[in-house]
Amino acid sequence: MSYEPSPRHPYHPPHDPSPVYDTTYPWQPPVRAPEPPPRRRTPEPALGHHSDLRILRGAYRWQRRTTTLTALGYFTLFLILSAFAPSFMTSELADGLPTGLVLALAQIPVTWLAIGLYEHTARRYVDPIAARIRKQSEVDAKREAAR
């Protein structure tokens, strides 16, 4: 048993008995929507903003690299000497004190040196740039609020 649709009766969508008429008459011009008020153009940010942030990122990156390489560089040197120069590390400096122990204890002052270097570069290079950017953003925010 197969179903075959009847070709004599094609499908027709239902008829909408209420047509939609235009609210205007043919002799009247079409009603137009009122023009929106012109938008105020937002001012472009100052050109220096992006370069200031780029300078700040560069100063901060230099600061991180310098202090990280100071601390990790010394520690890596200590590990390399321990692995490849055991005779040097076991040699005595004075009164039976091995060189390896002196270098291990020197890690604490080197870490303090890295912290001091980090604070020095922050005060000297990074903080003035950040303060200048902060001050400029406050001026820009006050200027925006006044509009």
pLDDT tens track for 2-45? 556 555 655 555 665 555 555 556 666 666 777 877 777 666 65
Q: Beta strands of the chain (E only): which ranges?
A: 92-94, 97-98
Q: What is the C-alpha separation between 134 and 128, in angstroms, rounded?
A: 10
| pLDDT per position as a tens digit, 34-93 | 787 777 766 665 545 578 888 889 989 988 998 899 899 999 999 999 999 999 999 998
Question: What confidence tens digit (pLDDT) does each residue in 94-145 have?
Answer: 888 999 999 999 999 999 999 999 999 899 989 999 999 899 888 888 888 8
Phi and psi torsions of 97, nearest 5°: -90, 115
The two structure tokens encoding residue 3: 């179903």
- Count other Cβ atoms within 10 Å, centred on residue 89: 18
Rounded Cα distance, 143 and 46, in Å: 12
- 20 vs 32: CA distance, rounded Å: 19
pTM: 0.55
Place of tokens 């220096």: 48
d(CA 109, CA 102): 11
Q: Which residue has the tokens 């938008």?
A: 39
Stretch (H or E) spanning 104: helix 99-105
Judged on CB neighbours under 10 Å (0-12, 13-18, 19+), 140 is middle
**Of residues 47, 20, 43, 52, the one with CA closest to residue 132:** 52
Strand pairing class (92-94; 97-98): antiparallel
